[in-house]
Amino acid sequence: LLSEQLPKAMTMTEARYGEGVSDVRVDLVNYACQFIGNRYVWGGTSLTKGVDCSGFTMKVYEKYGISLPHNASAQSQYGTKVSISEAKPGDLIFYSKGGRINHVALYIGNGQVVHASSPKSGIKVSNYNYRTPTKIIRLIND
């Protein structure tokens, strides 16, 4: 009789997204991804009618009871700084131009982010390193 024992029970969530990924993270990522294809609007705060990058992350996190300012640079001052090797779905990745943070994206796992990219492409999925990340922060402590 052969029996295979796993050292620790793994949830379906962990099996899909990796060990230590909580259901709230998966829920947040699924929620954010339902807006893919919607419009990018500078200064916008409507996930359905149009948002900019920080409006997108602000509105997604608002649903989970976390208040963020409508500004990418200001958002980067919240949470706990983590490295890309530690990044989990739901963490925020920031990008800079000329030394100033000017863009934010939501990490969704597997090296990808969802973000309100530009007026041309709207809310879409990109590789996290389509630009060089400046900073990664964690707002969900699990």
Residue owning tokens 């060089």: 132
Answer yes or no: 115 catalytic.
yes
Of 25, 59, 88, 103, which residue is the catalytic one? 103
Q: In angstroms, how far apart are the furthest CA atoms of the chain?
A: 64
Collapsed DSSP state (helix, strand, coil) of residue 40: strand
CA–CA separation, 51 vs 45, rounded Å? 5
Q: Which of 25, 59, 115, 138 is catalytic?
A: 115
Query: 24 is written with which tokens?
Result: 């709230």
d(CA 89, CA 17): 8
91: helix, coil or strand?
coil
Decide if 70 is catalytic. Answer: no
Q: How far is Cα 115 from Cα 125, in angstroms, rounded to an integer?
A: 7
Q: Which of 26, 53, 58, 105 is catalytic?
A: 53
Active site residue 103: yes
Catalytic residue IDs: 53, 103, 115
